[in-house]
Copies of this chain bind each other. A is one copy, B any other.
Amino acid sequence: MGRRFRLTVAYDGSGFHGFAEHEGVRTVMGDLRAAMERVLQVPMPLVGAGRTDAGVHAWGQVVSGDVPDGMDDAGLADLERRLNKMLGPEIAVRDGAFTADPEFSARFSATYRHYRYLVHNAPVHHPLLARTAWHIRQPLALWAMNLACDPIIGEHDFSTFCRRPKPVEGQQPVSLVRRIISAEWFEVPSQVPGDLPGLLRFEIRATAFCHQMVRSLVGTMVDVGLGRLHAGEMRGMLLRRDRAAAGQVAPPHGLMLWEVGYSDADGGPSR
């Protein structure tokens, strides 16, 4: 047993097969763990706050684990610096801190997850947004997409908007009930006139998400914005608890895990 720490990690998910480790493919957690083990020369089991899919980015992913006994704040700061040198441009350790609570878990102590989704709504795509925004050529009705947000706020069974995990023999099926705290679309203001018209951002916070939930919600709302579905149908889709009722699934590259929330006792606010 050593001292429990938490790290805030940002990454460009384009080149990774997702966050969580899988045998034989490059993952963010795999790279991070390998780098930590190279520095510390001990096995480093890590826990992450959100299992982002292949191609999904993060600004505020959180990882927890234990460093060997005797490492102090200066040692952790040094570890951060060395990790940032080793990890290359796709991953950045934004900050690290020891937690007050030895039971702290990046996953189980989280009180909310905040995701962002970028849509670029313009007749012609933008080459520098190709990795981070979903390009939609036809004009989207933003007001309708915001109307479609209302019915999903609160606690619901999100079976319609999730990939149901494979049932495990002899176990209860996993609950897909989740609580959405807020969900909103807005137009990103241009910094200079004409800078980048048509950039739309979806912000969603929930206590937790199930698999592909944000992308399924975004895809369905984009269908609403295109007039293929009506905002008024959203509640009915939710109540059907049937994946076939949902609209399209948005591509992963527009999605980013923006922030994970914890109570103060779980290691202090993220910088």
Question: Residues of A with Cβ closer than 8 Å to B?
Answer: 10-12, 57, 59, 84, 89-95, 124-128, 130-132, 188-189, 191
Question: What's the minimum C-beta distance from A133 to chain B, rounded to whole angstroms?
Answer: 11
A264 to chain B minimum Cβ distance, whole angstroms, is 17
Q: Are the CB atoms of A92 and B126 closer together than 8 Å?
A: yes
Judging by beta carbons under 8 Å apart, are B57 and A89 in contact?
Answer: no
Complex: chain B residue closest to A80, CB-CB: B124
Residue numbers in B under 8 Å from A94 (CB-CB): 124
* Across the A-B interface, the 9 shortest Cβ-Cβ residue pairs: A89-B130, A12-B127, A11-B127, A92-B124, A90-B127, A10-B127, A92-B125, A12-B128, A92-B127
Note all chain B residues with C-beta closer than 8 A to A126. 10, 92
- List residues of chain B with CB within 8 A of the CB of A128: 10, 12, 57, 59, 131-132
Q: How far is the CA of A125 from the CA of B80 in the complex (A)?
A: 12
- Cα separation A191 to B94 with both chains bound (whole Å): 20
A89 touches B12 (CB 8 A): no
Q: CB < 8 Å: which of B84, B130, B132 contacts A90?
A: B130
Set of chain B residues within 8 Å of A124, measured between Cβ atoms: 84, 92-95
A32 to chain B, nearest CB (A): 12
**Counting chain B CB atoms within 10 Å of each CB, which of A59, A84, A125 scores highest?**
A125
The reply to whether B189 and A130 form a contact with Cβ atoms under 8 Å apart is no
Report Cα–Cα, A116/B122, bound state, in Å.
22
Residue of B91, B127, B188, B189 near A127 (CB, 8 A) is B91
Given contacts A84-B125, A188-B191, contact A12 B130 (CB under 8 A): yes
Residue of B nearest to A89 (CB): B130
Contacts of A132 in B (CB 8 A): 128
Question: Besides the contacts A11-B127, A89-B127, what 6 more A-B pairs have beta carbons closer than 8 Å?
Answer: A12-B130, A59-B128, A92-B126, A92-B127, A93-B124, A128-B131
Residues of B within 8 A of A127 (CB): 10-12, 57, 89-92
A203 CB to nearest chain B CB (Å): 9
Q: Which residues of B contact A84 (CB under 8 A)?
A: 124-125
A85 to chain B, nearest CB (A): 11
Specify the chain B residue showing the minimal Cβ separation from A10: B127
Bound-state CA distance A132–B196 (Å) is 15
Q: Chain B residues near A130 (CB, 8 Å)?
A: 12, 89-90
Q: Which of A10, A124, A127, A189 has the most CB of B within 10 A?
A: A127
Please give me the residue from chain B that is nearest to A11 by CB atom. B127
